[in-house]
Amino acid sequence: MGLLEGKTGIVFGVANKRSLAWAIAQALSREGMRLAFTYQGERLKDSVAALTSTLPDSLLLPCDVTNDAEVADVFGRVDAELGRLDSLVHSVAYAPKDDLENEFVNTSREGFKLAHDISAYSLVALTKAALPLFEKSGGGSVVALTYYGAEKAVEGYNLMGVAKASLEASVRYLAANLGPRNVRVNAISAGPVNTLAARGIKGFTGMLHHHAEKAPLRRNVELEEVGNAALFLVSPMSSGITGEVMFVDCGYNIVGL
Ligand code: NAP
């Protein structure tokens, strides 16, 4: 019997088979969790459906995380169709290309707002919408995806680093707020992986090479390793852990010189 048999979860952020969210979904499904997924806009619907329909009894719903009505609809449908909710995976981020590429000092007000809305505030909004369902299930586990650029200034990461700092602080405040309701909130700080979102970062290929050279394990992290770490954080194996940012980066963050 799988670790997550009889449990249900919702995964935000599958765009294609290289998405970190898809690696996580596969790990959760392998352990018996029934999953709901969301896609943003019609553009990706068919390709996301082709993936998610390969998992048993999955549900696929539209959701732009900046739209409160769509967020409310998603959790209404999850309640109606899955009847319970035990976990939420937040694997969503966006910043306008110009604001990532320009000098940081030239970040636009609009870009700053949008990046924080999609990449950080959405964690609060989604967790709030999931809360009544978590309470029905006796608790829940939330996992978000972040990057080292939240802690250190990483060339090319710019505005996204500031939004990730906000996301990581939101993880801690949500964990402190919701711990008494048996809801755990953690983040995985993943090393660089070549995904659709990553291609928006200028110099990303150089970043991959640099990480592989400097990381103690002398390589980049595999998608499956991020999936397995999320499985740990979702499962009862991590029942004593909340409010943490866990690095899954082949050790890159521990190295000084
Ligand atoms: P990805 O496959 O491109 O996933 C990003 C997802 O965010 C996409 O599904 C995208 O949907 C979704 N998204 C953007 N705006 C949205 C909105 N308004 N509403 C709903 N969904 C929205 O890239 P990924 O690398 O797996 O990214 C997943 C998470 O991991 C992100 O938080 C990212 O910052 C984080 N992360 C990535 C790396 C890396 O190196 N790849 C490292 C550390 C952390 P659309 O495509 O439809 O816009």
* Residue 190 Cα: closest atom of ligand 1: 43
CA angle 74–228–11, rounded 5-degree value: 5
CA distance 194 to 125: 28
The CA–CA distances, whole Å, from 254 to 35, 170, 217, 225, 251 equal: 34, 23, 11, 18, 6
Among residues 39, 94, 147, 252, which one is catalytic?
147
Domain 8-249 sits in CATH at 3.40.50.720
- For residue 208, give the amino acid letter: L
Least Cα distance to 15 among 209, 194, 224 occurs for: 194
Segments making up each domain of the chain, as ranges: 8-249
Q: List, chain by chain if needed, residues with CB within 6 Å of any ligand 1 atom.
A: 13-15, 19-21, 40-41, 44, 63-66, 91-94, 118, 145-147, 190, 192-193, 195-198
CA distance 24 to 8: 14
Distance (angstroms) between ligand 1 centre and the Cα of 179 equals 27
Q: Which residue out of 126, 196, 201, 222 has the highest number of ligand 1 atoms within 8 Å of its CB and is therefore the one to mutate?
A: 196
Distance (angstroms) between ligand 1 centre and the Cα of 13 equals 5
Distance (angstroms) between ligand 1 centre and the Cα of 93 equals 5
Q: Cα–chain-centroid distance for residue 217? A: 24
pLDDT, averaged in runs of 10, over the chain (257 residues):
96 96 98 97 92 96 97 98 97 96 96 98 98 98 98 96 98 98 98 90 91 98 98 98 98 96
Could you say which DSSP state residue 95 is in? -
> Can you spell out the DSSP letters for 117-172?
IIIIIHHHHHHHHHHHHHHHHT-EEEEEEE-GGGTS--TTTHHHHHHHHHHHHHHH
Nearest CA to ligand 1 atom 40: 192
Distance (angstroms) between ligand 1 centre and the Cα of 49 equals 17
Q: Dihedral angle at the C-alpha atoms of 224, 121, 197, 23, nearest 10 degrees?
A: 20
CB count in 10 Å sphere of residue 135: 15
* Residue 196 Cα: closest atom of ligand 1: 3
Measured in degrees and rounded to the nearest 5, phi and psi for residue 93 equal -160, 150
* Residue 147 Cα: closest atom of ligand 1: 43
CA distance 4 to 46: 28
Q: Which residue out of 11, 20, 151 has the highest number of ligand 1 atoms within 8 Å of its CB and is therefore the one to mutate?
A: 20
Q: According to the model, what pLDDT value does residue 188 have?
A: 99
- To the query of whether residue 147 is one of the catalytic residues in this protein, the response is yes
Two structure tokens written together for 21: 């969210």
Q: According to the model, what pLDDT value does residue 1 have?
A: 84
Burial readout 65-88 (b: 16 or more C-beta within 10 A, e: otherwise): beeeeebeebbeebeeebebbbbb
Q: Which residue out of 40, 47, 113 has the highest number of ligand 1 atoms within 8 Å of its CB and is therefore the one to mutate?
A: 40
Distance (angstroms) between ligand 1 centre and the Cα of 135 equals 28
Q: According to the model, what pLDDT value does residue 41 have?
A: 84
